[in-house]
Amino acid sequence: MQNLELRKRNEEFIREMKEYDPTFFDELKKGQAPEFFVLSCSDSRVSPSVVTQMPLGHMFVHRNIANQISIEDESFSASLSYALRHLNVKVIVIKGHTDCGGVKAAWSGNNEEELRGWIGKVRKSLPDHNLLKDVSMDELTRENVLSQVKHLQQHPIYKKYGQGVQMIGCLFHVESGELERVYPL
């Protein structure tokens, strides 16, 4: 059933794109030159190109749980390097979102074996739970974005190749659809 839905939606997509521009796929085939490199959470409700209505070819996207940046993460480092050195993106967008399960898990002390390592990284991006107990989940997701802005500023690949590239931190509100800018204010 799901498989059929994927196929049906894909056929619909092809039809709509060709209706919009008969040469759409010929253009796509020529290559990509996206202006944006976006880091987003993997959450199924926050797809960056969907919430900004950005057509294919404009956003190079890296996603992981709770949109984390760490120097040891080879997958992110590779995406960042490719985006800066080969795609020459103009803007880096770090996009968190409200009601983030990764942030919630970190804050509530989730200790599942398979998640422990990653959620531990998320926890380090949040204020100290022992010092700050009365904080809203929205505020925590905002803090998480700001931490990733700092992590990016300290990332060796960014330091080497990202000078002059605009950086934006934002928070997608799943309850309203609004994309709130949190950095720079």
Question: Binding site for Zn(2+): which residues?
Answer: 41, 43, 97, 100
Which ranges of 21-97 does DSSP label H, i.e. alpha helix? 24-29, 48-51, 74-81
CB of 135 to Zn ion, least distance (A): 17
Q: Considering beta carbons, is residue 59 or 65 the nearer one to Zn ion?
A: 65
CB of 118 to Zn ion, least distance (A): 12
Query: Closer CB to Zn ion, residue 140 or residue 152?
Result: 140
Residue 100 in contact with Zn ion, rule: CB under 5 A: yes
The single-letter DSSP state of residue 83 is I
Query: Which amino acid is it at 28?
Result: L
Q: Which is nearer to Zn ion, 70 or 81 (CB)?
A: 70
Q: Is 83 in the site for Zn ion (CB under 5 A)?
A: no
Across-strand partners of 154?
Answer: none
**Distance between CA 168 and CA 89 in Å, rounded?**
13
Residues 40-79 that bind Zn ion (CB under 5 A): 41, 43
Q: How far is CA 166 from CA 3, 39, 56, 184, in A?
A: 40, 14, 21, 10
- Cα atoms found within 13 Å of the Cα of residue 104, Cβ hemisphere only: 8
Closer residue to Zn ion (CB): 84 or 170: 170
105 lies in the binding site for Zn ion (CB under 5 A): no
Positions touching Zn ion (CB under 5 A) are 41, 43, 100, 102
